[in-house]
Amino acid sequence: MCIFDNSEYDNHEQVLFCRDEDAGLFAIIAIHDTTLGPAAGGCRMWSYVSIEDAVTDVLRLAQAMSYKNALADLPLGGGKSVIIGDPNKDKNEKLLIAFARFVQRLGGQYYTAEDVGIGINDVEVLSQASDYVFGLVTTGDPSPFTARGCFEGIRAAVKNKLGRDHLKGLKVAVQGVGNVGRYVCKYLHEAGAKLIVADVKAESATYAVENFEAKAVTPHKIYAQDVDIFSPCAMGGILNDDTIPQLKASIVAGAANNQLAEARHGRLIHNKGILYAPDYVINAGGMLNASGDIFGKYDVTQVMERVTGLYDATLRIFEVAEQENRPTNEVADDLARQKIEAGKALKKS
């Protein structure tokens, strides 16, 4: 299939296929838009079923980074990369260095960082061969910041939908208890929420049970739990024609990227009376933190102020969506595009 015919192709500026047979590397770098600044977004390593699946994923992720950075008021564009392979079997230093060299050749058009399958130790390896890597040891693990932003988004959703300023006693189903999901559970537990969790790794779910008084269910049962909030914190595309009818929650707010399988699923959720917190709005905390490496300055106090500010940013999107009776994902997309178009107009003036 021609990449220009892909349903997720959104006039991306560049899509690069990176191949190093000696290192066993097959990667794709997608640069969506650099109007507001150099493209920035993490590198994901995953065992995709097909090349087409990898292309679709990287295109969606790159576009989401453009919107995330725009709405977070970061002077950055959107980009993303994927390495095709099993991170538990295929990842090694030679492969990572080979990928970093491709990033280096772009000369700063794209900055890469960690994502699913690529951790902070891997990012340090990438930095050996590229100057365009962020999310290093200097800014630390972005997971707590991503999770904190997600928590603020959940608070905003509870305020808007339920009229409550606290989460005490609310039931939350958390899908995915990895690096970010674990912190989301921690913040929710500390706020008095009751947790139901699911993870493909049994040990991750067990951790939540032992540390946050959670109840664990099998992954396929997490959607239909009788809860107030469903919080997706694993992989994307999980809100679709099969799963949305199962939802009993009145709020969907989680840290996973690209939760909607297709944009139209935002309207299905809206029509079902469920309040959806757009993922790239509330999961921007990690980016707000890690981008300090790009700008050459880092103040954790300022970062936390901006992360907690995601509460107000999310509330504003809910308010506009309510006033216009539109799905929240459509409102957020429009606001992000407006910021990017304003940047283009400024460059032309």
Q: Over the stretch 126-146, which tens digit does the pLDDT of each residue have?
A: 999 999 999 997 788 899 999
List beta partners, residue 79. 31
Please tell me the distance from the alpha carbon of residue 269 to that of residue 251, in angstroms, as a whole number.
10
Residues of 21-56 as b/e, b for ≥16 C-beta within 10 angstroms? eebebbbbbbbbbbbbbbbbbbbbbbebeeeeebbb
Check residue 169 and give its pLDDT.
98
Please tell me the distance from the alpha carbon of residue 42 to that of residue 22, in angstroms, as a whole number.
24
Average pLDDT rounded to a whole number, residues 87-98: 97
Rg (CA), the chain: 19
Residues forming CATH 3.40.50.720 domain(s) in the chain? 143-285+310-337
Domain range 12-62+76-126, CATH class: alpha beta
Find the DSSP H helices in 223-308. Answer: 264-271, 279-282, 285-290, 292-295, 300-308
Q: CA quadruple 329, 303, 309, 248: dihedral positive or negative?
A: positive
Please tell me the distance from the alpha carbon of residue 274 to that of residue 251, in angstroms, as a whole number.
5
Average pLDDT rounded to a whole number, residues 284-289: 96
The catalytic residues are 80
Torsion of CA 194, 200, 204, 210, to 10 degrees: 40
Spatial CB neighbours of 125, under 8 Å, sequence gap ≥ 6: 93, 96, 97, 100
Q: By the 8 A CB rule, do 139 and 298 touch?
A: yes
Please tell me the distance from the alpha carbon of residue 129 to that of residue 133, in angstroms, as a whole number.
9
Q: What stretches of the chain adopt beta strand conformation (E)? A: 14-20, 25-33, 39-40, 43-46, 77-84, 110-111, 171-175, 194-198, 215-216, 229-232, 251-252, 275-276
Q: By the 8 A CB rule, do 327 and 321 touch?
A: yes
CA 61 centroid distance within chain = 8
Check residue 31 and give its pLDDT.
98
Please tell me the distance from the alpha carbon of residue 186 to that of residue 104, in angstroms, as a whole number.
37
Check residue 83 and give its pLDDT.
98
Is the pTM higher than 0.75? The answer reads: yes
Please tell me the distance from the alpha carbon of residue 273 to that of residue 119, in angstroms, as a whole number.
37
143-285+310-337: CATH, from 1.20.810.10, 3.40.920.10, 3.40.50.720, 3.90.1150.10: 3.40.50.720
| pLDDT tens digits, 206-235 | 999 999 999 999 999 999 999 999 999 998
Crossing angle between the packed helical segments 300-308 and 143-162, to the nearest 10 degrees: 30
Residues forming CATH 3.40.50.10860 domain(s) in the chain? 12-62+76-126
Check residue 346 and give its pLDDT.
85
In a 3-state reduction of DSSP, which class is residue 254?
coil
| pLDDT tens digits, 173-189 | 999 999 999 999 999 99
Spatial CB neighbours of 129, under 8 Å, sequence gap ≥ 6: 97, 100, 101, 104
